Structure 1
Amino acid sequence: MSGNTITHDVTVTAEQTGTTRGTARDTSFAPSRAARELGLRRRDFDLAVRLGRIRTVPDDKGGGRRVARDEIERIRAGAGFPEALRDSIRVVGTTEGAALMAVTTARFTRLARLGLLVPMTFYVNRYRAVVWLYLADDLRQFAADERNAALLKGRTSEGLRDQLTEGLDLRPRNWRGRHLGFLLSQADDPWSRAAAMASLLGPVDVSEVVRDPYERSHLHRFRPAPPTHGTPGSPAAHLAEEIMTATDPDEIDWLRTDLAGAVEAARRQRPAPSPALRPVPSAPPGRKSTPHGAQETGRLRGLLGRIRRKDS
């Protein structure tokens, strides 16, 4: 999280619109620019947004989320900036996290698999292994809580050991829950909320809950972009997609239930558009339209007239 602090003044070139007050785009920054203004790498900026350290606003032209100039100034004026901001979003892996909590890496992994330590993010390394990252603040708070003392130093109970032996690993599910919370916090539209829930379900589950194809198509428009892990279609991308899709039956059930409720709420507020019947084009003013049937009748009469003249 190291890096030199960017100290240049925040400036915005507003378009001259003839009014004294500009649009939201005039007084806000795109994420890449906002990250530079705060001296953050883009991935650290995205993490700060996920954690609510940096508040974003919708782009009034539909170009994604932006950061208001006032928000940049508020953060820069905070005590200990930028070190305090960087420390609040610091993430660590298993080895560093275990050292931070003064436990072995094996115990740290057990606590994480049991769902007691919730991952903040993950990536797929070159060996196609998932590397989970945890918020350092979360780990410090867990270790400082006296109620967790037995978990940090005592022997793991037989019941928990049996679950681990059977393959229990709640890290993907806990990450999905945290990720969904972030998506819902960013959703400013009822269809966006529904799409956030749909993004954690497989296509079959979504089609079974949302049976109307036009609603599914509309829902897809609001589907949030998944975190990028490798090039599309790569093994790393496929592995990340598996992590982002619910697999536990009870998790799938509550996501389906919440999706159904969210779509119903969105439908009541603003139904999804569906194709209307195409109107029959009318004849230009001053001209009579000639129906197809009338044309065929005229041809038939002409043919009968020629036959009668030939026979006479």
Structure 2
Amino acid sequence: MSGQRTTTTQRTVTAFDTGVGPVAAAKDDSWVTTGRAARELGLRRTEFDLAVRLGRVRTDPGRVPGERRVARAEIERLRACPDFPEALRRSVHAVGTAEGAEVLGVAKSRFTRLARLGLLVPVAFHLNRYRAVVWLYLADELRLFGDDGKHAALLTGRTPEGLRGLLDSGIDLRPRNWRGRHLGFLLREAEDPWARAGAVASFLDPLHVAREVRDPYDRSHLNTFRRRPPGGANPDSPGARIAADLTTARDDDEIAWLRADLARLVDEARAHRPAPRPSASCRATSASEPLASRRPVLAPPPARPAASARPDTPAAADRARRRGLLARWRHRTARTATRP
């Protein structure tokens, strides 16, 4: 009896350690795709993506690079929260300028001025059909701003003199505030030192990245982790160019601290795992091989037949046949004349 219990225990441990059998199947069932998670949580895809960026829904890397998945336990945790799913939907409800002004009880022009001054931080943006940028704000954050008594003077009456001067200078902190928020999301999602460095590099012009990361192999490896601007449009489309412009830092002080962060993160990434480089034998062969020998040799184009040899018409074919007969008759006549 003791021997039977030992055998059963060993068999159970083997199935757990090797990841085969029913244990592995149960482990696979504990994860769902992001699309299925959105449906089970009662969220539209845009709401789900925003919930992930805000940390409302925790995701993990999938089996394919760039893919995310959600644990079944995370879905059950959210479902067990009070007032599900309405509370979750309210936490990710984003509004534009018109609805945001209604939430604060102010005119749209005043709302826009507050946003330009950086007092209201956008959480996302999209382009309308006229390719104008539409900034989105969390409704919950706007309510908190309006309920704070310290902001009462900003919601009514005349804008303070100092703030009016900033507005007259053309200040608009909406893109910069959104970049800071989006960078925080990318850094939270990154689980590799190179991915964190690539997240910071995503907000810098390639020229600034090249000045900070001088090694070409480090820079090439870093570029594989740079994130594309949100929107998913064709990189050459006007909308993608607008999104790229909003994603790229423009202010000198913002560029300076991004470059400082990039230098620090690249040093950490090198210490964690150096960037891949060609082997010493490949470098020696490439350096010793003459430049001319490394260029591909193009084969000469095939010779085209002479025009006279191409019987393009029946008349040309008849002339070619007669010239052949005449040449053979001359050859036979010459041979006959030379005989003794």
TM-score range, shorter chain: 0.7 to 0.9
**AA matched with 1:56:** T
Aligned partner of residue 55 in structure 1, secondary structure:
coil
2:175 alignment counterpart: 172
**Which among 244, 247, 252 is matched to residue 247 of structure 2?**
244
1:153 alignment counterpart: 156
1:269 alignment counterpart: 272
Q: How does 1:13-52 map to 2 (within 5 A)?
A: 17-18=20-21, 20-21=23-24, 25-52=28-55
Shift of 1:226: 2.6
2:86 alignment counterpart: 83
Is 1:94–2:94 an aligned residue pair?
Answer: no
Q: How does 1:1-312 map to 2 (within 5 A)?
A: 17-18=20-21, 20-21=23-24, 25-228=28-231, 230-278=233-281
**AA matched with 1:251:** E
Segments of 5+ residues of structure 2 without an aligned counterpart are 1-18, 284-340
Shift of 1:17: 2.7
Aligned partner of residue 66 in structure 1, secondary structure:
strand
* TM-score, L = length of structure 1: 0.81
Shift of 1:62: 3.4
Q: Which has the larger radius of gyration?
A: 2
* TM-score, L = length of structure 2: 0.74
Compared with structure 1, are the counterparts of its residues 230 and 58 closer, same or farther at alpha carbon in structure 2 (3 Å cutoff)?
A: closer
State how far apart, in whole Å, the 2-side matches of 1:22 and 1:218 are.
Answer: 36
Greater shift after overlay, 146-155 or 128-137? Answer: 146-155
Residues 97 and 111 of structure 2 are in contact (CA less than 8 Å); yes or no, is this contact kept in structure 1? yes
Residues 114 and 168 of structure 1 are in contact (CA less than 8 Å); yes or no, is this contact kept in structure 2? yes
Offset from partner CA, 1:182-211 (integer Å, 9 cap, x none): 001111111111001000001101111111
How many residues matched? 265
**AA matched with 1:224:** R
Residues 201 and 252 of structure 1 are in contact (CA less than 8 Å); yes or no, is this contact kept in structure 2? yes
Greater shift after overlay, 266-275 or 217-226? Answer: 217-226
Shift of 1:270: 1.1
**AA matched with 1:39:** G
Compared with structure 1, are the counterparts of its residues 148 and 168 closer, same or farther at alpha carbon in structure 2 (3 Å cutoff)?
A: same
Aligned partner of residue 245 in structure 2, secondary structure:
helix
Greater shift after overlay, 153-162 or 175-184? Answer: 153-162
State how far apart, in whole Å, the 1-side matches of 2:158 and 2:37 are.
Answer: 47
Offset from partner CA, 1:88-108 (integer Å, 9 cap, x none): 100001111011001111111
Compared with structure 1, are the counterparts of its residues 20 and 254 closer, same or farther at alpha carbon in structure 2 (3 Å cutoff)?
A: same
Residues 121 and 133 of structure 1 are in contact (CA less than 8 Å); yes or no, is this contact kept in structure 2? yes
Compared with structure 1, are the counterparts of its residues 277 and 81 closer, same or farther at alpha carbon in structure 2 (3 Å cutoff)?
A: same
Offset from partner CA, 1:66-103 (integer Å, 9 cap, x none): 11110011112221111111111000011110110011
Shift of 1:278: 2.9
Q: Which structure: greater helix fraction?
A: 2
Offset from partner CA, 1:87-139 (integer Å, 9 cap, x none): 11000011110110011111110100000000010011111110100000110
State how far apart, in whole Å, the 2-side matches of 1:219 and 1:233 are.
Answer: 22
Over the matched positions of the two proteins, sequence identity in percent amounts to: 60
**AA matched with 2:139:** A
Shift of 1:224: 2.5
Shift of 1:25: 5.0
**AA matched with 1:222:** F
Residues 201 and 245 of structure 1 are in contact (CA less than 8 Å); yes or no, is this contact kept in structure 2? yes
Aligned partner of residue 281 in structure 2, secondary structure:
coil
Greater shift after overlay, 221-230 or 86-95? Answer: 221-230
RMSD, aligned CA = 1.8
State how far apart, in whole Å, the 1-side matches of 2:84 and 2:179 are.
Answer: 31
2:310 alignment counterpart: none
Segments of 5+ residues of structure 1 without an aligned counterpart are 1-15, 281-312
**AA matched with 2:278:** P
**AA matched with 2:143:** R
